[in-house]
Amino acid sequence: MHDKIVVLDFGSQYTQLIARRVRETGVYSEIRPCTVEADAIDALNPSGVILSGGPCSVYDEAGPALDPALLELERPDGTPVPLLGICYGLQAMAHQFGGEVARADRREFGRAQLQVPPDGQEKSLLFEGVPSGSTVWMSHSDHLTDLPDGYEVIARTDNAPVAAVRDTDGPYYGVQFHPEVVHTDYGRQILENFAHAICGCSGDWTPASFVEEQTETIRDRVGDRHVILGLSGGVDSSVAAALLQRALGDQLHCIFVNNGLLRKGEWNQVQDTFRGHFEMDLRTTDATDRFLERLDGVTDPEEKRTIVGNTFIEVFEEQTEAIAADLGHRPTYLAQGTLYPDLIESVSFKGPSVTIKTHHNVGGLPEELDFDLIEPFRELFKDEVREIGRLLDVPAPIVGRHPFPGPGLAIRILGQITRERLALLREADAIFIEELRANDLYDEVWQAFAVLLPVQAVGVMGDERTYENVCALRAVTSVDGMTADWAHLPHDFLGHVSNRIVNEVPGINRIVYDVSSKPPATIEWE
């Protein structure tokens, strides 16, 4: 129904970002591995194709090659499908069609000034509205030394004589820099030029159009049957619940399980929001004792995740049976807030990554539960889901909420989990979040939380020696959580938070701040 641009993944850390940036221009985009055959791309009926960057050299044995059949793809009107190669994508395209790629004398990583057009040329469609001298972000060791026949240079920098090219006979373009990153001043304009001026896309894909289309799709699919959804109070499940409520009304039944690992006030907040604000059929059960009994004495992070996941499934099934008894039949569908990034690793040309740890979210209910899945957000990024939540009137404290792992505080207490340690962590975490909000810093970071360490430290309080717990504060900035940098919060702010926690939470006498980025660290400590 909408124009579509396909992004072929050659292994770049920015591949998701390319797709996100294209969507910001109002054009739907999706990612496929660079190894997919041209026929499969053709079946998607794309308006254009973007070739991502990647870590390889075109001369590496493991370096993925470009399928030459991509230049033979046609749109329904018989015109060729436009291509845009980015960094490695440009080099792979040029190498495939007779150009020369070589190791650069000077590797180029960082900002450069783009000259468009080169002397004596008219500006190409790709750079309309892009002033000469604007900043672009370079990240490459190889570069083009000879162009394929029929190609011409349309931009350069001081260190890169070939910063961008085009085919004079077809809608095929390439850039040596990364237009998708924020460091490229007019990167969005360049991608918009490709999507609209070159590919001819109309830009009609918006969150509002998504809501209308998904509402009708869900109604048509479900008919008069019923749907259950495991509600956590996080962004994804909350917005999914709001969308399904809009489409189905009382055919939706939400289940909220208190696993004893929630944050301070969360049990009541979720109930107030979805029973009060949305008037949903929300089934709740407090299974705190069951979860904590099974976690007693467990210290291994993976074992914690397994216990929480298995126990959640057990409780969820019990609640499902109670709903079935009320309805007189079992619900047909299970709805989940699966997002596009959850699926992308499985389509990487390198295959799924080695498992660092089980996924944060408790999902993947077993097949024997026998439901058909509804995943309305499986093609969306989290920022798009947030925007949809705003359109659906999901309260701001929930739609803007930081990610929270499915195992909850179980993986933010290092070592053994007890009710006493949970109480300490809840209070410390609540103070940290409260101060972030009060100082207008909450929305400046992607995720922030407190971690209780299995360490005690000596302190002095009221002229007395103390030997109490150490608490770590963690705050990161990120786009999608796949990479992250530690948030450079003001020192005065951190000092104030530390002072409050130590004074207001008996049992904690020392605060540390985590200054590790991902990689090499993960965002969560377990």
Residue recorded with tokens 């089980």: 358
- Give me the catalytic one of 30, 34, 87, 387: 87
The token duo for 346 is 């499985």
Q: How far apart are CA 235 and CA 382, in angstroms?
A: 8
pLDDT in tens, 108-154: 668 889 999 876 678 899 999 999 999 998 876 677 788 999 999 99
Per-residue buried b or exposed e for 497-507, using 16+ beta carbons within 10 Å of the residue's own CB: bbebbbeebeb
Q: How far apart are CA 147 and CA 25, in angstroms?
A: 30
CB 94 within 8 A of CB 179: no
Q: How far apart are CA 210 and CA 213, in angstroms?
A: 5
Question: Using the 8-state DSSP alphabet, how is residue 413 labeled?
Answer: B
Q: How far apart are CA 58 and CA 56, in angstroms?
A: 6
Distances (CA, A) of 284 to 261, 329, 364, 404, 421: 15, 20, 20, 19, 25
Asked if residue 68 has a cis previous peptide bond (ω within 30° of 0), the answer is no
- Give me the catalytic one of 95, 140, 143, 178: 178
- Give me the catalytic one of 30, 108, 180, 384: 180
Rg of the chain on CA atoms, in Å: 26
CB 483 within 8 A of CB 13: yes
What does the pLDDT average to over 314-319? 93
CB 282 within 8 A of CB 274: yes
pLDDT band at 352 (very low <50, low <70, confident <90, very high): very low
CB 9 within 8 A of CB 52: yes
Residue type, 214: Q
Q: How far apart are CA 52 and CA 50, in angstroms?
A: 6
What does the pLDDT average to over 182-205? 94
Query: Given this model, what pLDDT does residue 314 score?
Result: 93
CB 53 within 8 A of CB 141: no
Asked if residue 519 has a cis previous peptide bond (ω within 30° of 0), the answer is yes
pLDDT at 409 over 90: yes
Q: How far apart are CA 277 and CA 271, in angstroms?
A: 9
pLDDT in tens, 35-67: 899 999 999 999 999 999 988 888 777 778 888
For the chain, give the mean pLDDT: 89
pTM exceeds 0.75? yes
Task: Give the Cβ contact number of residue 472 at 10 Å.
Answer: 19
The token duo for 359 is 């996924």
Query: Given this model, what pLDDT does residue 369 score?
Result: 61
pLDDT band at 483 (very low <50, low <70, confident <90, very high): confident
Q: How far apart are CA 216 and CA 306, in angstroms?
A: 37
Query: Given this model, what pLDDT does residue 192 score?
Result: 97
Nearest to 109 by CA among 138, 136, 135, 83: 138
Active site residue 178: yes
Distances (CA, A) of 393 to 69, 209, 217, 243, 398: 46, 16, 20, 10, 10
pLDDT band at 266 (very low <50, low <70, confident <90, very high): very high
Nearest to 237 by CA among 363, 118, 349: 363
In sequence order, the β-bridge partners of residue 471 are 452, 511
